[in-house]
Amino acid sequence: MTSLSSSEAFSLAKKYLVGGVNSPVRAYSFVGGTPPFIAKAKGAYIYDIDAHKYIDYVNSWGACIVGHSHPEVVKAVSEQASQGLSYGAPTLLEVKLAQKIAQEVPSMEQMRFVCSGTEATMSAIRVARAYTGHHHILKFHGHYHGHSDALLTASGSGVITQGLPGSAGVPPASVASTLVIPFNCPASLEKVFAEHGKHLACVICELVVGNSGFILPQQDFLDTLKNLVKRYKVLVIADEVMSGFRVGMGGAQKEYDIQPDMTVLGKVIGGGLPIGAYGGRAQIMSLVAPQGDVYQAGTLAGNPLAMASGLATMNILSQEGAFEQLHTRTTQLCKGLLECAQRHGIDLVSANLGGMFGFAFSAKTIKNISTLNALDHNIFKTFFHCMLRLGIYLPPSPYEACFISLAHSQEDVEHTLAQADKAMAELKDSLKP
Ligand SMILES: *Cc1c(COP(=O)(O)O)cnc(C)c1O
């Protein structure tokens, strides 16, 4: 088994695992080719079973923000493992993590831990519907909120990467109360609120978008949203599964001064172990069982290993200068990529915030998923494969954001840019008519 190559491993995988993977984007169906099978990861680097080393800009889709296998995180998890893997009973660890999160994200007065972002968004919507007594929810085209039925329409991430409008197996009734409008479009917001505002339970939104490429919110959009939800008394659910503790310590809501009624977290707060959390104003969260009558439970929720990993990760992230370092590196990367594209006469835009960034082979800024859909993705595919061959591990889809960790050094960034220069030179050759 150990001497298999990635392509042999993928053939074997396809026999037993659907599509050879446990999450669609991992299969490389968009970019083509065979995904590297991973043997290990340490710091900023990830290694495949073919003995290639890559600088990792996926970082488990953002979760591993302090770098892979950080000694303090490994220590916390192993110490906890020796004390038991799961009890199905309260622990002090989960209280400590909740306390830490509430301190950094004050809109989350009370919260509940679950095992994935999907569960967290699904549960938050259930609470919002119970609280308001309304059933309709509003989401934005290309935003991904996990794979629960009501949210699997006009979704981002793997759904759009696979070119699907939604998902088979979702009954029309499940999405009948889900309204979808374009992101960063104040006029669409005005229109949908005028028609449906009175019976909307909530607006769920990736304030900083990481699932239709990387997109920052425009101020006029945020201002309109703030005014409308106030006027119509509609709850705002900030889906910060990706942006929470990733774009800044207090998430996108702090960066953009938004006070959501509820917030959903995942990824970083588990430091690489399965986790999700939803929370909000105590008055709203008091509806959740056992205090209230909105039912939601989990055998492994608040799992001690995930709590230990999350706490250790948070402690490292809280150190002075952590987010400044992340932001400096992503700024340097984005600036470098732009300069590189310019040198080669290639259209490119990029954006970054904290430890998250994105780029697109586009002449126009990416405002929402429509801008992205209009691009020729063959350019991305060629660039992606050049970079992979040159030892740079990027997300295998233009619909995903990129991530760095505290382990990424300035040298790693410089090396990445040098490789990008070679890749763009190749790209230019391949673009010649
Ligand atoms: C990853 C993600 C989810 C889903 O989380 P899972 O843990 O994969 O279920 C939901 N919302 C956003 C914004 C995400 O990035």
- 267 catalytic, yes or no? yes
Ligand 1 centroid from CA 362, angstroms: 26
Instruction: Name the residue of 144, 207, 369 whose CB sits within 8 Å of the most ligand 1 atoms, as the mutation to test its pocket.
Output: 144
Going from the Cα of 31 to the center of ligand 1, the distance in angstroms, rounded, reads 22
What does each of the 433 residues of the chain score in pLDDT, given as a tens digit? 558 999 999 999 999 999 999 999 999 999 999 999 999 999 999 999 999 999 999 999 999 999 999 999 999 999 999 999 999 999 999 999 999 999 999 999 999 999 999 999 999 999 999 999 999 999 999 999 999 998 988 777 777 777 767 788 888 888 889 999 999 999 999 999 999 999 999 999 999 999 999 999 999 999 999 999 999 999 999 999 999 999 999 999 999 999 999 999 999 999 999 999 999 999 999 999 999 999 999 999 999 999 999 999 999 999 999 999 999 999 999 999 999 999 999 999 999 999 999 999 999 999 999 999 999 999 999 999 999 999 999 999 999 999 999 999 999 999 999 999 999 999 988 876 6
Catalytic residue among 239, 256, 261, 412: 239
Nearest CA to ligand 1 atom 15: 242
Q: Is the CB of 126 under 6 A from ligand 1?
A: no
CA–CA distance, 151 with 155 (Å, rounded to integer): 7
Is 144 among the catalytic positions?
Answer: yes
Q: Which of 54, 48, 111, 145 is nearest to 307 (CA)?
A: 111
C-beta of 146 in contact with ligand 1 (< 6 A): yes
Cis amide linkage into residue 274, ω under 30° from 0 = no
Tell me the pTM: 0.97
Q: Is 242 in the pocket of ligand 1 (CB under 6 A)?
A: yes
* Residue 432 CB burial class (10 angstroms; 0-12, 13-18, ≥19): exposed
- 344 Cα–ligand 1 center, Å: 36
How many whole angstroms from 189 Cα to the centroid of ligand 1? 24
How many whole angstroms from its chain centre is CA 261?
A: 20
Which stretch of DSSP H or E encloses residue 314? Answer: helix 304-317
